Amino acid sequence: MGTALLVLFALIVLFVVVMLAKTVRIVPQARAAIVERFGKYKGTLPAGLNIVVPFVDRVRYLIDLREQVVSFPPQPVITEDNLVVSIDTVIYFQVTDPVAATYEIANYIQAVEQLTMTTLRNIVGGMDLEETLTSRDEINTRLRGVLDEATGKWGIRVNRVELKGIDPPPSIKDSMEKQMRADRDKRAQILTAEGGRQAAILTAEGEKQSSILSAEGDRESQILRAQADREAQILRAQGEGQAIQTVFQAIHDGRPDQSLLAYQYLQMMPKIAEGSANKVWVIPSEITKAMEGLGSSIHEIAGIPKDATPSKRVDMGPTEPQLPRSSAEPDTQATSEAVQQAIAEAENAANPGKGARKLEGGSSAEPAAPTDPAAPTDPEAPAGQ
């Protein structure tokens, strides 16, 4: 009896547990449960704790209301230029109506996949390969519009469509790589040519500037050289002029006579015989008379009187800087008188037959001019000469 009661109590507890399990339904967040009563749609259970009639109501489907991501395997698609490419697609969609998604379509994921493939073939079939590879945004937009319109009655909203990959055939890939390589080589050659052109332009400009600077330097150097030559010629001419004036003054101061001219004539005779065309040189027997006549002629031609002093002395000015004379230096006047006396003695030695006249006060006068019978008499000479 006790055992029977225990078994009955266990059965009652089991029945209560089953009834509670059939009555209480807990729906997770972002889910929706479709309830059917005797195989007919009864209602949709929201998230949380829900009570249903046991053995009468049954939860048919549990729909996920979150946004879902479905990646479809690569599908072959033929482009407008008859090239087969493999395209991977990714669909982002969300169930907005659980009842429509349950009863309007048997498998909405498979339906979205097939609709995506057919729409993609239709879109890509109107494009060539180059346009397909560069028009992903356009393909995504058109594909999303078609899918959103077709899946609206299924209670599904397509949020985004992405082309994960577009793979052309291997031969096309090789051709594309060659084309890309050729294009890059062309751009590299263009850049190299532009660099060479810029380098040539810069080099030419540098050479131009260098030539201009060199020409300016040559011009300035030639100008400076010409100025230096001019100044050198001026200084040389001035020096020659001063030398000529000095010689001329020395000749006037020395009062040369016929003996000196004859001596100079004798010194010049060897130089006259030095010419290469002079094979034979004859010394005339009357050289003494010729020397006397030549001396007198040279005297007259040169305008130097036989016994005269220069009528006008050329003042050459100081040839060297005049330094202040110290008290220890000798008197210049005394030195000049000594020089004049030495010159007078030399003239007396050159003309021993004439002698010198003594003036009053003990100073010597100028020697008398030698008489040259061969020299012509100049009627126009001054009386003092």
- Is 193's pLDDT higher than 90? yes
pLDDT digits (tens, 9 = 90+) for 340-369: 776 677 667 655 554 444 333 344 434 444
Lowest mean pLDDT among 239-243, 336-340, 377-381: 377-381
Domain ranges of the chain: 11-63, 66-168, 171-245, 255-270+286-306
When pLDDT is averaged across residues 9-32 and rounded to a whole number, the result is: 85
**Rounded mean pLDDT of 148-176?**
86
Distances in Å between the Cα of 303 and the Cα atoms of 32, 251, 299 are 152, 12, 6
Q: Note the maximum CA span of the chain.
A: 209
What tokens were used for 159?
């949020």
How large a percentage of the chain has pLDDT more than 70?
A: 67
Q: Is the pLDDT of residue 318 over 70?
A: no
**In angstroms, rounded to a whole number, what is the distance separating the alpha carbons of residues 150 and 144?**
10
40-45 β-sheet, strand order: 40-45, 31-37, 57-64
For the segment 126-157, what is each residue's pLDDT rounded down to a tens digit? 888 888 888 888 888 888 888 888 888 899 99
Spatial CB neighbours of 45, under 8 Å, sequence gap ≥ 6:
25, 27, 32, 33, 34, 35, 52, 59
**What average pLDDT does the structure give for the chain?**
76
Beta-bridged to residue 165, according to DSSP, are 88
Confidence check: pLDDT of 253 > 50: yes
| 66-168 topology per CATH | Tetrahydropterin Synthase; Chain A (3.30.479)
Span 269-297, average pLDDT: 59
User: What number is the average pLDDT over the span 62-88?
Assistant: 89
The percent of residues above 90 in pLDDT, for the chain, comes to 18
- Measured over the CA atoms of residue 175, residue 181, residue 186 and residue 189, the dihedral's sign is negative
CA dihedral 7, 12, 17, 18 (to 10 degrees): 100
